[in-house]
Structure 1
Amino acid sequence: MKAKASLLLVDDHQELLEFIADDLQEEYQIQTTNNGIEAMQLLESENYDLIISDVMMPEMNGYELCHHIKENISYAHIPVILLTAKNSIESKIQGLEFGADAYIEKPFSPAFLKAQIASLLKNRLKVKTFFINNPLSQIQSIGQNQSDQEFLKKVDEIILEHLDDPKFNVDRMADILCISRPTLYRKINVVSSLSPNELINLTRLRKAAELLTQRKYKIYEISDLLGYSSATHFSKNFQKQFGLSPSQFQENQKSIASGD
């Protein structure tokens, strides 16, 4: 059975908070809080797939909460929906400038909110699936915002720099990024649906696809360049990930290039 996505609802209006929670609890795992400061505290210990926040709240409003989330490498990947009674174009622009993924005016249709949640979660899954299955996709494509894209680009660069280093591992990557191993694991897993080790393996295979497309090296040479124990091991890994052997992939790319 597929696990329910986890949502954090933030609103100082208790009645509305309970109404939204009750409406969503059959489809999602719900946690609620009454202000932005408490929401940030919860984010330190809990994992959420999406956050819905009111804009007008004491202590820390929704704009500030969204800004803190999108500026923090550990949370920037989480989609944020802002709810507000303000219906001016300026307020909508402000919400988007703070990094909100969607902006919904009150009063709103519960069905519309559900559709917006489902759309954000579904789109993230589609992008991740395309990246994992497409040998020539760019890792930045799975980043939902600039912060995520920069993080993923840095991770990609670090892995590529150490592809031929047998001692390179998750701990070393965490050290280079100056973040803890659990934070790195959680961040990579949520953004890509992969573990750090799986991402390292996928990056190695994507580099192999790039080299195969260039046709400058033989398959066994690519295997050696990328640190595989044998060409057979490399070929099995490549086919398991992308559904094609290295030679089949190379022939497909040749056909595409020639227009056949």
Structure 2
Amino acid sequence: MMNPINQMEATILIADDHPDILDFIAEDLEDNYSVVKVSDGKEAFEYIRLHPVDLIVSDVMMPVMDGYQFCTAVKDNALYSHIPFIMLTAKNSLQSKIEGLEFGADAYIEKPFSPNFLQAQIASLLRNRKSIREYYNQPQSTSEEEESASHPKGDQQFLDRLNTLITENMSEQSLCVDMLAERMCMSRPTLYRKIKALSDLSPNELINITRLKKATQLLSDREYKVYEIANKLGFSTPSHFTRNFQKQFGISPKEFVYNLKKTAKIC
């Protein structure tokens, strides 16, 4: 039975067919997280189809759908592949650990385990997800290699496709969520959930920030004036572009260029 507990910032889904183990893990986590308990992989997968989840902790041996099948279903689906997955098992062989990781688990923990160790693994995976989100709030992009290394393969493919769509259409003022959802073959709510989970941004915010990141590159090249960049990136007016740039990065486009020139002189 699905049993939500608490209402903390991050939601942890626990899947295990042993009630005592479910309660043991939940009681240890519920002071810091919102916890959802389910008894098998099928029930767990049905839950994440309907509700946002930040991290999954799953046993391997379960009825109906085991942990390997559940992990595969999550990691092979572009809508949920971003969710960190911790696999628990009583098997302590190296081969079992390799199998767990091959099925896409982000971490593999052997039973019996220390609650503190589980807490540390959860915190580490959520911190990594946070660092991925923070990438989008930096004034200038990292290299493609660094960016790719930050995301699991399925998520990177989703983001690459999304970024290509935004980049190819960013000069159009009509670029919007509905167009992205149609091109990504997703409903508007589903696209919203996926983008929000990966970047902590709404689709409109992601469009705006992608445009502004491109603006920092164009300003760095110093080949275009501010009004030309505003037009190239689909902003209705130069003042609209300037307001958005200032709000995102804390300085105006002209101040950004001035700082670049100042830095170049020092170097």
Instruction: Give the shorter-chain TM-score range.
Output: over 0.9
Paired residue type of 1:210 = Q
Separation (CA, whole Å) in 1 of partners of 2:187 and 2:143: 25
Flag structure 2 segments of 5+ consecutive residues without an equivalent: 1-6
- 1:45 corresponds, among 44, 50, 56, to 50
TM-score with structure 1 setting the length: 0.92
CA contact (8 A) 2:85 2:107 kept: yes
- 1:116 corresponds, among 118, 121, 125, to 121
- 2:152 corresponds, among 139, 145, 153, to 145
Matched residue SS, 1:30: strand
Matched residue SS, 2:86: strand
Say if 2:182 is the partner of 1:175: yes
Instruction: Tell me what 2:3 maps to.
Output: none
> 1:239 offset after TM fit, Å?
1.8
Separation (CA, whole Å) in 2 of partners of 1:150 and 1:63: 23
Instruction: Tell me what 1:237 maps to.
Output: 244
Paired residue type of 1:246 = P
- 2:198 corresponds, among 186, 191, 203, to 191
Instruction: Tell me what 1:208 maps to.
Output: 215
Deviations 1:92-140 (A, max 9, x none): 2221221111111111000111111111112211331233133223685
Instruction: Tell me what 1:86 maps to.
Output: 91
Number of residue-to-residue matches in the alignment = 259
CA contact (8 A) 1:133 1:241 kept: no
Separation (CA, whole Å) in 2 of partners of 1:58 and 1:136: 45
Separation (CA, whole Å) in 1 of partners of 2:259 and 2:91: 53
CA contact (8 A) 2:177 2:188 kept: yes
Superposition RMSD on alpha carbons, in Å? 2.0
- 2:60 corresponds, among 45, 55, 60, to 55
Say if 2:82 is the partner of 1:77: yes
> 1:27 offset after TM fit, Å?
1.1
Separation (CA, whole Å) in 1 of partners of 2:209 and 2:223: 21
> 1:25 offset after TM fit, Å?
1.1
Separation (CA, whole Å) in 2 of partners of 1:28 and 1:70: 23
Deviations 1:183-205 (A, max 9, x none): 00000011100000000101110
Paired residue type of 1:39 = A
Flag structure 1 segments of 5+ consecutive residues without an equivalent: none
> 1:35 offset after TM fit, Å?
0.6
Equivalent runs, 1:159-174 vs 2, <5 Å = 159-174=166-181
